[in-house]
Amino acid sequence: MALDGESMQVTISSGNNINGTLVLPLFEGEEALPEIDEGIPSTLKSQINRVLADGDFKAKANATMTLMGTEGGKAMLVGLGKESKADVHAYREAGATVVASCKKVHGDELTVVFHGADMACMTSFAEGMMLRDYSYDLYKKKDDDHEDTNLSARINCDEGDATTLSAAIDRAASIVSGVHLSRDLGNCPPNDMYPMAFAEKAELWAKQYDNVKVEVIDYEAAKRHGMGGLVAVGMGSSRKPCMVIFTLNGDQKGQHPMLVGKGITFDTGGISLKPGANMDEMKYDMGGSATVFGTMEALASSGYPGKVIGITCMAENMPAANAQRPGDVITTLSGKTIEVLNTDAEGRLVLSDGLWKAGTDYDPEYIVDFATLTGACVVALGHEATGLWSNDDDFRTRIHEAGNDVGELAWPMPLLPAFEKEMTDSKIADTRNLGAGRWGGANTAAAFLKQFVPNRGEGDDAEQITWAHMDIAGTYWGAKTNKMVGHGATGIHVRTMVRLITGE
């Protein structure tokens, strides 16, 4: 459900007809068209061969060249880099590059002809095309300059591969719909994206699937339940906070993955007001919740049969007469108290209730939270990697590897006892929401969250539930080197989570 219209159609054909622009992914060093040239107009073919023979197109990774046949036909050559290094990631990037390079002259139909690409690489190329075929134009008047182009692509393949490839690409399209949904939610301007608006979108979304359920805990209910973190952050806004719970395949028995998202629909900092520069970017501060919602869409739409539950903690952090103050002590759902020393460290407050609920009301195999939590994480890792913390080294490695598999980097960060100590040495409460100094701010935030992950069972041998925290402050938007997206929200980690949960 991309709010901004369907994403591009990619179909499979076992013929060698070429419709629209021919797209040719090529390896570095190829000096002539490989034996895949049936159906290519002969003048275009000789033009391509001349360009390759003269070394005018070297097929370096992500280079493109467009050729117009003198007697009809158009081609876009795209580089895959060296054949020995052309893995699924190279193909995914090349696919994205093709779409990013499409201009009016290429028309809206592409035919991709591969050679020497296996099923995984062809699927990955299609995935890259679909991921990159996204723009957020909902608030733009449609005119000639901004007309909707509905790009479609056909992949020519061997007859024997067609059915399998077609199924793989359909699955990829479902997952991409989850990524695009996450982007749509993140890009939505904050006057239209507020806690209950997110909840309503979730309820509307749930109607299209028989096996999903969405439950909304509104402000009054959150107060009744004692969700002191969520309430404290959201009470200063006229648009009140809520918690949205997504259940996929709820009738399945047994333990299940559990996702928790930070959903600050706008983060002004509250009374600890942020400086003005780039404050508009704080509309993306609900990126964690968008990741959860997008993952649920990806799983539901690709027909995943297992049970998965997502909890999104939605609030708008505003300065107001009824906003929380620095110095307040709040009581969270867990019963633990927090001394609020800075109202801009609000993500951890809403997550304290989400994590606690996740571990106590359900029986999760593991909990993963997503949050645009700290500027410090962006200082540490830039826009290149998500910060990844876990109370279980093997689990952290599994997430790191799932991210690597899909080209979404999540970098291991330390969860140290010293950071926990720093966050629990409040003079008047159980925890404090601010570290003692500014160093290691992403680590102290993670250590704070750990205080709100419940144990499994009770007594001496109770162990903390397997949990990981992903700080997406640097990767949810503004990642210029992420080739899968032009600008705005990236929709990062929907694909990582699908990989982790489904193993595919």
Active site amino acids: 274, 348
Full 3-state SS string of 318-337: CCCCCCCCCCCEEECCCCCE
Question: Closer to ligand BES at the Cβ: 4 or 267?
Answer: 267
Q: Counting contacts by CB under 6 A, is residue 342 touching ligand BES?
A: yes
CB 20 within 8 A of CB 111: yes
Q: How far is the CB of 434 from ligand BES (least distance, A)?
A: 5
Q: Counting contacts by CB under 5 A, is residue 453 touching Zn ion?
A: no
Question: How far, CA to CA in Å, does 327 sit from each of 232, 345, 413, 420, 421?
Answer: 12, 13, 30, 20, 20
Q: Which does 78 bind (CB under 5 to 8 A by kind): ligand BES, Zn ion, none?
A: none
CB 93 within 8 A of CB 100: no
Q: Which of 129, 150, 109, 119 is nearest to 4 (CA)?
A: 150
Structure tokens belonging to residue 502: 């489904």
| DSSP category for residue 486 | S
Give the whole-angstrom CA distance, residue 459 versus residue 29: 65
Question: Closer to ligand BES at the Cβ: 88 or 378?
Answer: 378
Among 4, 127, 184, 267, binds ligand BES (CB under 6 A): 267
Q: Counting contacts by CB under 5 A, is residue 267 touching Zn ion?
A: yes
In this chain, which stretch among 66-74, 171-179, 263-271, 362-370 interacts with Zn ion, using CB under 5 A? 263-271
Give the whole-angstrom CA distance, residue 483 versus residue 480: 8
Q: Is 18 helix (H, G, I), strand (E, B) or coil?
A: coil
Give the whole-angstrom CA distance, residue 5 versus residue 378: 32
Q: How far is the CB of 323 from ligand BES (least distance, A)?
A: 14
In this chain, which stretch among 18-26, 176-184, 234-242, 366-374 interacts with ligand BES, using CB under 6 A? 366-374
Using the CB atoms, write b or e for 400-432: b if 16+ within 10 Å. Answer: bebbeebbbbbeebebeeebbebbeebeebbbb
Q: Counting contacts by CB under 6 A, is residue 344 touching ligand BES?
A: yes
CB 153 within 8 A of CB 125: no
Radius of gyration of the CA atoms of the chain, in A = 24
Q: How far is the CB of 295 from Zn ion (least distance, A)?
A: 20
Binding mask 421-460 for ligand BES (x = CB under 6 A): -------------x------x-------------------
Structure tokens belonging to residue 341: 């020393």
Q: Which does 434 bind (CB under 5 to 8 A by kind): ligand BES, Zn ion, none?
A: ligand BES
Q: Where are the alpha helices (DSSP H) in 104-235?
A: 119-132, 162-187, 195-206, 219-225, 228-234
Q: Counting contacts by CB under 6 A, is residue 30 touching ligand BES?
A: no
Q: Counting contacts by CB under 6 A, is residue 271 touching ligand BES?
A: no
Question: Closer to ligand BES at the Cβ: 347 or 454?
Answer: 347
Q: Counting contacts by CB under 6 A, is residue 339 touching ligand BES?
A: no
Q: How far is the CB of 474 from Zn ion (least distance, A)?
A: 13
Question: Closer to ligand BES at the Cβ: 285 or 297?
Answer: 285
Q: Counting contacts by CB under 5 A, is residue 285 touching Zn ion?
A: yes
Give the whole-angstrom CA distance, residue 319 versus residue 35: 66
CB 125 within 8 A of CB 79: no
Binding mask 310-349 for Zn ion (x = CB under 5 A): ----------------------------------x-xx--
Q: Which does 441 bind (CB under 5 to 8 A by kind): Zn ion, ligand BES, none?
A: ligand BES
Phi, psi dihedrals of residue 367, rounded to the nearest 5°? -120, 135
In this chain, which stretch among 186-194, 239-247, 345-353, 452-460 interacts with ligand BES, using CB under 6 A? 345-353
Among 20, 375, 486, 488, binds ligand BES (CB under 6 A): 375
Binding mask 456-495 for ligand BES (x = CB under 6 A): -----------------x----------------------
Question: Closer to Zn ion at the Cβ: 25 or 263?
Answer: 263
Question: Closer to ligand BES at the Cβ: 74 or 183?
Answer: 183
Among 237, 291, 374, 443, binds ligand BES (CB under 6 A): 374
Among 59, 165, 176, 378, binds ligand BES (CB under 6 A): 378
Q: How far is the CB of 347 from ligand BES (least distance, A)?
A: 5
Q: Counting contacts by CB under 6 A, is residue 47 touching ligand BES?
A: no
CB 386 within 8 A of CB 412: no
Give the whole-angstrom CA distance, residue 216 versus residue 222: 10
CB 38 within 8 A of CB 59: no
Q: Which amino acid is at 495?
A: R
Structure tokens belonging to residue 21: 């622009």
Among 30, 285, 316, 353, binds ligand BES (CB under 6 A): 285
* Helix (H) or strand (E) segment spanning residue 21: strand 21-26
Handedness of CA 377, 190, 186, 237 (dihedral sign): positive
Which residues here bind Zn ion, judged by CB under 5 A?
Answer: 264, 267, 285, 344, 346-347
Which residues here bind ligand BES, judged by CB under 6 A?
Answer: 267, 285, 342, 344-347, 372-376, 378, 434, 441, 473
